[in-house]
Amino acid sequence: MAREFSTVGVVGLGTMGAGIVEVFARNGIDVVAVEISAPALERGRATLKGSTDRAVAKGKLAEADRDALNERVHFAVGLDALHSVDLVIEAVPEHLDLKQRIFAELDRVCRPETILATNTSSLSVTEISVATSRPNQVIGIHFFNPAPVMKLVEVVRTVVTAPEVVADVEALCARLGKVDVTINDRAGFIANALLFGYLNHAVGMFESHYATREDIDAAMKLGCGLPMGPLALMDLIGLDTAYEILDTMYRRGGRDRRHAPVPLLKQMVTAGLLGRKSGRGFYTYERPGSPVVVPDEATPLATDGALADGARAIAKVGVVGSGTMATGIIEVFAKAGYEVVSVTRGMEKSAKVCEAVKTSLNKGVVRGKLAEADRDAALGRISWSATLDHLADVDLVVEAVVEELSVKKALFASLDEICKPGVVLATTTSSLPVIDVAMATQRPADVVGLHFFNPAPVMPLVEVVRTIRTSPEATATARAVCAALGKTGVVCGDRSGFIVNALLFPYLNDAVKMLEASYSTADDIDHAMKLGCGYPMGPFELLDVVGLDVSLAIQRELYLELREPGFAPAPLLEHLVTAGYLGRKTRRGFRDHSHR
């Protein structure tokens, strides 16, 4: 029978602590809310009042319920007020010595049967517990911000935490309406261990001038459906907090270079550029604490992403290829008003592409997303051919053939001979070096990558990949074309994975390594990232959709180019691919999809 908690204490009433107070009080539990001083206590009281008043204004909390909630909270200065509570949750800043001092004092003040919990997101619960004479009654209860909204709680047990304490806390989470994942005491737990490696990688990408802050953030929001881009998220978390979490995970987590804070991060923290809380971080904000971004001139390493004038006029576009991607690109250009020449190998394939485009456009009409007249106009702009010679008068060629470098190089060599001077030649490759394709021509300055995402008619993102030989005019033209298509074009250098895959797949690989180490289950890891970070899919759900073989191939490319030990493909991923467990397409991957 799970223990019934009637009164809990919360130490520290910052944003997180006040949120935890609200969670308990909303669920009928009396709370003793403690701070170090009267001014800090008043700030915590104001934070709680502001949150509950906003909930009332939005119709999410009745006034009577708000008043009852507030009556359940007793505010006090000093830990002595916690002498009779059943459970204490500490939510002070992430400094081990501070937490140890607090736990030593709680051990003295609280009843022998009281459970002592820390809300730490990265520090060792074990190291905190040994400051007490009751380490078997110490546990981690990691809420996510904002605590009243976020459903996930990571329950962190140490090697000596009593099983009944774990069971009692799990039952409490259920009473609070939270989804708990129970894990062992390891640096970063689940969510932060996966999230902050990805965030740190994004900071490194920005530090190296690989892409602008805006393009990195747009790429991950639009390409992966994430609620926020990584740099905007760092500003929200606080760069000082992010640095402490990364530094702790690096020191405690085996000194993985993926968690070694990028030097720029330490420099920004030293300079007081902490993100939203200070009014400036990777972005500049209207005022400290405001979410409103304003134009700036001096954000570290920021560039406005402006491209040289001289974008070339594009009226007629050639698309080479017969697969799903080529079909989608043809549709996108035709709907945007461009004259399109579709070139395939043979008229039989050309007829199949034509039929696929018609089918897709007809679906748009049936779903009410496209008028019949617009469908007919789009089809009227497309001509079909089985020879590259019909590309002699186009202004832009987009290649969407098989991902084999020899095939692409041969094609671009042919295009170089056929196309008129000044034509922009674009490859849709998602993994091959664009420069290798460009050097197969005598006009590498005119070659760019245009990485559309599948399905091209739906996905709003295009990665514009410039090589060291690509001219500013060609890059400007590519980005202008993206805008004309209604797409967001993000510009990056010619490096394996570009932006999206370079950030996404190491994160997925880290999740596989976590599973491989038996730290948690695939279900709990997926829950952690969806409920704790707001991701649309968990890493294992996404791996099964993408295909384990595709993921392995991309991860191998990243590792071969960057030679970063942390990017080495997880052996478990390699073994599953070898065994033919490729995800949904084989009905077996990290999960059994045979019933679908």
Residues belonging to the active site: 121, 142, 154, 192
CA distance 162 to 137: 6
Are the C-beta atoms of 117 and 172 separated by less than 8 Å?
no
Interior/surface letters 99-138, b for 16+ CB within 10 angstroms, e for the rest? bbebbebbbebbeeebbbbbbbbbbbbbbbbebbebbebb
592 sits in the region (left: phi over 0; alpha: psi -120 to 50; else beta) called beta
Tokens found for residue 244: 């402490």
CA distance 278 to 476: 35
How many separate helices (H) and strands (E) can be counted in the chain? 22, 18
The DSSP secondary-structure symbol of 377 reads H
CA distance 222 to 567: 24
Are the C-beta atoms of 304 and 379 separated by less than 8 Å?
no
Are the C-beta atoms of 189 and 254 separated by less than 8 Å?
no
Q: CA of 425: how far to CAs of 371, 398, 414, in Å?
A: 32, 6, 11
Length of the chain as a residue count: 596
Paired with 89 in beta bridges are: 10, 117
CA distance 215 to 202: 11
The DSSP secondary-structure symbol of 78 reads S
CA distance 507 to 126: 27
CA distance 146 to 124: 22
Give CA torsion, residues 172, 175, 177, 178, to 10 deg.
Answer: 10
- Looking up tokens 């679906």 gives 363
CA distance 312 to 486: 18
Q: Enumerate residues 6+ apart whose C-beta is below 8 A from 234.
A: 199, 202, 203, 242, 275, 281, 282
Q: Enumerate residues 6+ apart whose C-beta is below 8 A from 427.
A: 399, 408, 412, 434, 437, 447, 448, 449, 450
φ, ψ of residue 371 to 5 degrees: the values are: -75, 150
Are the C-beta atoms of 52 and 75 separated by less than 8 Å?
no
Task: Tell me the three state secondary structure of residue 318.
Answer: strand
How much is the CA Rg of the chain, to the nearest whole Å? 28
The DSSP secondary-structure symbol of 190 reads T
Tokens found for residue 67: 């008043």
Omega of the bond leading into 146 within 30 degrees of 0 (cis): yes
